[in-house]
């Protein structure tokens, strides 16, 4: 069931991208390009963090990811269409703040950082999914 939903969602996104590419207004094309580039930058920043094993907190790698998350959430706030989306964005912002504080507080605790990394990946996935949802 979930696989079918994800397949349908991917097909809908691909269809929307193709439609906007040929028939979209310039502002729709700009929105598509902006959201896709922010999502790509966010994914790259998170991917970079998971590739490195040492000195993540001290070297400021998390700061880069959280800065990208902030940028993306700000962009999503600009294009949200209703209260439900606003509430989802606020929930994601609160989760980001909680994770940021937790990671800084648990700087030397590798077990806790590993757990928070997983939560950060889930948060990132949620933001990317919301970005895709707002594109439709």
**Per-residue pLDDT tens for 125-135?**
888 888 888 77
Label residue 6 by pLDDT band (50, 70, 90): confident
**Per-residue pLDDT tens for 33-87?**
877 787 778 777 776 665 564 455 556 677 788 888 888 888 888 887 788 888 9
**Where do the structural domains in the chain lie, given as residue ranges?**
26-135
Three-state secondary structure of 18-84: HHHHHHCCHHHHHHHHHHHHHHHHHHHHHHHHHHCCCCCCCCCHHHHHHHHHHHHHHHHHHHCCCHH
**Per-residue pLDDT tens for 8-26?**
877 876 776 677 777 778 8
Q: Using an 8 Å Cβ cutoff, are 122 and 68 in contact?
A: no
As a whole number of angstroms, the distance between CA 68 and CA 46 comes to 9
What is the pTM assigned to this prediction? 0.58
Inform me whether the pLDDT recorded for 136 exceeds 70: no
């Amino acid at each position: 069931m979930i696989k079918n939903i994800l397949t349908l969602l991917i097909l809908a996104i691909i269809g929307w991208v193709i439609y906007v590419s040929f028939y979209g207004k310039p502002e729709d094309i700009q929105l598509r390009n902006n959201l896709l580039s922010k999502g790509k930058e966010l994914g790259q920043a998170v991917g970079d963090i998971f590739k490195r094993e040492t000195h993540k907190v001290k070297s400021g790698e998390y700061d880069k990811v959280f800065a990208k998350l902030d940028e993306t959430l700000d962009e999503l706030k600009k294009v949200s269409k209703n209260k439900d989306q606003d509430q989802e964005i606020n929930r994601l912002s609160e989760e980001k703040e909680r994770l940021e504080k937790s990671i800084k507080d648990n700087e030397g605790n590798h077990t806790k950082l590993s757990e928070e990394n997983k939560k950060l990946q889930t948060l990132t996935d949620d933001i990317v999914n919301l970005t895709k949802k707002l594109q439709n």
